A and B are shown apart, each in its own frame.
Chain A
Amino acid sequence: MTESRLRAPANLVSPRARWFWAVRAVPGWLVVLAAEAIVWAALPSKLATSIIFILSLILATAHLVVMPQWRYRVHRWETTETAVYTQSGWFKQERRIAPVSRIQTVDMERGPFEQLFGLANVTVTTASAAGPLKIHGLAEEMAAAMVDELTVRTQAAGGDGT
């Protein structure tokens, strides 16, 4: 038996996605830091709360710097004539492969933040409730082209996909 492995999908998502992920994570951290600031102001002893606040600040900065880079490296995708292939995850990494002939829907969606950065998410579903293939942070034009392309190929394949 040969030692076969899967290579990673060929394409990275849009480089702008890194900024998008960082910006999207900011509000959550602001809420945490604001709550800590209120506690800091309310309690008489400042030492413990100050330390916690500073630690949170460091953690937030580290998260905002590391997370987008990490995601950008991990979130990869590829479509071929016959298949869609995605990779995602952090601690638990996942690679999903679905044949084009079994695709049921291809959705493109853009939230308000995504529109700001000119990004879009593409979700490819099959007849199985387990594991739609999601690609986050694609450039809009790329996502639209991909949806068109997959739609055409899926129609060519025919059948009810189950």
Chain B
Amino acid sequence: MSAALSEPAITTPDAEWRRLSPRMLLVHPVIEVGKALPALAGLFLASGGSSQGLIWGLIAAGIVTTFSLLRWVTTRFRITPEQIQLRRGLLHRTTVAAPLDRVRSVDVTAHLLHRILGLAKVVIGTGTSDRKRRDQFALDGLSAEAAGLLRSELLHRGQQLAAPVLDSTMAPAAGDQEIIRLEPAWVRYAPFTLSGVLTGLALFGFGWRIGNDAHIDASRVAPLRSIGDQLRHTPIAIDVAVISVVVLVFIAVASTVGYVLAFWKFRLTRHPEGTLHVTRGLVTTRATSIERRRLHGAEISESILLRWVGAARCIAIATGLKSGGGAERNSGLLVPPAPREVAIRVAGEVLESSAPFAVALSPHGEAARRRRLIRAASGALVLVGLAALVCWAARLPIYVWLASLTLLVVAVPLARDRYRNLGHALADGYVVASSGSLVRRRSAIDRDGIIGWNFTSTYFQRRFGLTTLTATTAAGKQKYRIYDVAVADAVDFAEQAKPGLLAQFALHA
């Protein structure tokens, strides 16, 4: 904590302008040059070592670096008793300000370079504007201590100022109650997350780019050519099998590495005031804080593979947290892929009610089931028809088209499962909605978090007497849908959840 005391500008909560850490001056050049590295390497290889391209590349990297240095010089921020203000820009000076009571979440991340230099990036979520002006309050490059103090300053304003000193950047404060901690055995679920697919695509793209920049012809690279020759000499069936196995093994390994990188030392704790803290990460560390009054619900999500091995994730539904962006990047993640019971227990503890994830949901009835079946079957038929067209036009062998018939076989169980997973309930003040098959989600949103309702119905839904009820909210995904529910049930349900709003527009027959 001595480092914190040596930076007096940070510990006094007055209206003085503060700067980012000067150590960031070391970080920017390295990152900018790193970003330009593939292009530079390609140019270098292509020209056989002496190229104007290389010089131009270096000049470009230099310019970008200069700009990033200027960014440090011009960026300042301060906290007044009412507001947090951020000033930046050299020619075009902008000052953005947000009232302190609109600060919804504080996200502290530190990648490898940050960590070597003892730095961290702070992203402050301020609610509604998050979607349009992303990273509006991103302070890239505070010292780790300053970042931790800033977080406490913003989140526990009501407290005495002595308290935040206990709360260092990544480590939760002493009085915090631990809700969950990653168990190493959970890594067994990693291959089933398929996050490695993205890694594989990214690596492929990276290799492709270098190859292209350097004008490398794949058939002239010895190892690639010998693989190609090998494949040509074996039957197609064996080629397909070998390639599938290689790809699957790669995805499994990459997913596991990704899981360890993202979720290493995952820990969810609760501050005595109710603020949740999530800390995680092996190389890039990340700490997210969510205030209790910003937390409006939770979601249990299970992809079909995770469901198959009995695992699930738990995600917070809170205002000011960007949802989506992949499981590894989602800052609302409360439980990484872990045994289903664990995810459900944590959801219950966080919401202070186990009912939303234990309650039996009302099914949506025969009409909804028929609609699911019709949709799946007609979708599959359209695809099979398209496959027939493509096969005919491209003169592909008939078995390619026959393979597409498996879609019809898969469609029916998929539709049945989608129907089975449809459901809604009102449990302990939470609106609970469940849907999906390939990714099944059960979301619970507290009724105060719900702003209004949208009823949408397509022509086909109207013929079945069904509607899709959408609860709009400022938290998480902004809208949570209850699919294909009978119109009367939807109206009654919405009125029960938020009494008085709908009654004035309802007809009772």
A interface residues with partner B (beta carbon < 8 Å): 1-7, 9, 78, 80, 82-83, 85, 89, 91-99, 102, 104, 126-131, 160-162
Supplied contacts A89-B456, A128-B479, A162-B319, 9 more A-B pairs, CB within 8 Å: A4-B507, A7-B507, A92-B459, A93-B458, A94-B455, A102-B451, A130-B478, A131-B452, A160-B102
Identify which of residues 397-423 in chain B touch chain A, using a CB-to-CB cut-off of 8 Å: none
Given contacts A99-B501, A160-B102, contact A1 B492 (CB under 8 A): yes
- Give 9 closest A-B pairs by Cβ, nearest first: A130-B479, A98-B452, A127-B474, A128-B472, A130-B478, A162-B474, A129-B478, A95-B455, A4-B491
Inter-subunit contact B506/A7 (CB<8 Å) = yes
Contact between chains at A131 and B454 (CB < 8 Å): yes
Q: B447: shortest Cβ distance to chain A, in Å?
A: 12
The answer to the question of B470 belonging to the interface, with a C-beta cut-off of 8 Å to chain A, is: yes
Chain A: which residue is nearest B504 at the CB level? A80
Q: List 16 A-B contacts (CB under 8 A).
A: A4-B492, A4-B508, A5-B487, A6-B455, A6-B505, A91-B459, A92-B459, A95-B455, A96-B453, A98-B472, A126-B472, A127-B127, A128-B479, A130-B477, A131-B472, A162-B474
B500 near A: Cβ within 8 Å?
Answer: yes
Contact with A along B215-228 (1 / 0, CB 8 A): 00000000000000
- A4, B451: Cβ atoms closer than 8 Å: no
Query: Which of A4, A82, A94, A126 meets B506, CB within 8 Å?
Result: A4
Whether A128 and B473, one on each chain, are in contact in the complex, defined by CB atoms closer than 8 angstroms, is: yes
Chain B stretch 104-137: residues in CB contact (< 8 A) with chain A: 127-128, 131
Contact of A131 among B102, B479, B509 (CB under 8 A): B479
Give bound CA distance, A102 to B478, whole Å.
Answer: 14
Determine the chain B residues whose CB is within 8 A of the CB of A5 once the complex forms: 487-488, 491, 506-507, 509
Q: Mark B36-68, 1 if CB is under 8 A from A, else 0.
A: 000000000000000000000000000000000
In whole Å, how far is B481's beta carbon from the nearest beta carbon of chain A? Answer: 10
CA A80 – CA B501 in complex, angstroms? 10
Give every chain A residue within 8 A of B501 (Cβ-Cβ).
Answer: 82-83, 97, 99
Q: Which residues of A contact B178 (CB under 8 A)?
A: none
Nearest residue in A to B503 (C-beta to C-beta)? A4
Q: Determine if B508 and A97 form an interchain contact, defined as CB atoms under 8 angstroms apart.
A: no
Q: A126-B472, A128-B473, A162-B319 are in contact. Are A6 and B491 (CB under 8 A)?
A: yes
Judging by beta carbons under 8 Å apart, are B474 and A128 in contact? yes
Contact B508 A104 (CB under 8 A): no
What CA separation (Å) do A158 and B456 show in the bound complex? 30
For A3, A80, A97, A128, the residue with the greatest tally of chain B CB atoms inside 10 Å of its CB is A128
User: Are the C-beta atoms of A128 and B451 separated by less than 8 Å?
Assistant: yes
Q: How far is the CA of A3 from the CA of B487 in the complex (A)?
A: 9
**Chain B nearest Cβ from A52, distance in angstroms:** 24
Q: Name the residue on A nearest B509 (C-beta).
A: A3
Give the residue name and chain of the B residue nearest to A78 (CB): B505
Q: Using Cβ atoms and an 8 Å threshold, which residues of chain A touch B462?
A: 93
Contact B453 A82 (CB under 8 A): no
Asked whether any CB of chain A lies closer than 8 Å to the CB of B502, the reply is: yes
**Separation in Å of the A89 CB from the closest CB of chain B?**
8
In the bound assembly, the distance between CA atoms of A83 and B502 in angstroms comes to: 9
Cβ contacts under 8 Å, B131 to chain A: 129
A4 interface neighbour in B453, B459, B495, Cβ under 8 Å? B495
Bound complex: CA A4 to CA B502 (Å) = 10
Interface string of B454-492 (1 = CB under 8 A from A): 111111001000000010111101110000000111011
Distance from A35 Cβ to chain B, minimum over Cβ atoms (Å)? 28
A82–B504 CB distance below 8 A: yes
Specify the chain B residue showing the minimal Cβ separation from A162.
B474
For A5, the closest partner residue in chain B by CB is B507
Q: Is the CB of A129 within 8 A of B458?
A: no
Most chain B CB neighbours (cut-off 10 Å) among A1, A2, A9, A89: A2
Q: Report the Cα distance A5→B506, complex, angstroms.
A: 6
The CA-CA distance from A3 to B479 in the complex, in Å, is: 26
Complex Cα–Cα for A71 and B491 (A): 24
* B456 CB contacts on chain A under 8 angstroms: 89, 92-95
**A126 CB contacts on chain B under 8 angstroms:** 451-452, 472, 474
Question: Nearest chain B CB to A79's CB is how many angstroms away?
Answer: 11
What residues of B have a CB within 8 angstroms of the CB of A99 in the complex? 451-452, 498, 501
Please report the C-alpha to C-alpha distance between residue A96 and residue B470 in the assembled complex, in whole angstroms: 9
Nearest-neighbour CB distance to chain A for B322, whole angstroms, equals 11
Q: Among A1, A89, A97, point to the contact of B488 (Cβ < 8 A).
A: A1
Shortest distance from the beta carbon of A66 to any chain B beta carbon, whole Å: 16
CB pair B502 A6 closer than 8 Å: yes
Shortest C-beta distance, B131 to chain A (Å), equals 5
Shortest beta-carbon distance, A108 to chain B, in Å? 20
Q: Residue of B at shortest CB range from A95? A: B455
A85–B500 Cα gap in the complex (Å)? 14
- Kindly state whether residue B101 has any CB partner on chain A within 8 Å: yes
Cβ-closest chain B residue relative to A9: B505
Q: Which residues of B contact A83 (CB under 8 A)?
A: 501, 504-505
Q: Which residue of A lies closest to B498 (CB)?
A: A99
Chain B CB count within 10 A is highest, among A1, A82, A126, for A126
Residue of A nearest to B462 (CB): A93
In the complex, which of the residues A2, A7, A96, A129 contacts B454, with contact meaning CB atoms closer than 8 Å? A96
Which of chain B's residues have a CB closer than 8 A to the CB of A85?
505
Closest to A127 in B: B474
Least CB distance from A96 to B in Å reads 5
Task: Report the bound CA distance from A118 to B474 in whole Å.
Answer: 34
| Min CB–CB distance A85 → chain B (angstroms) | 6
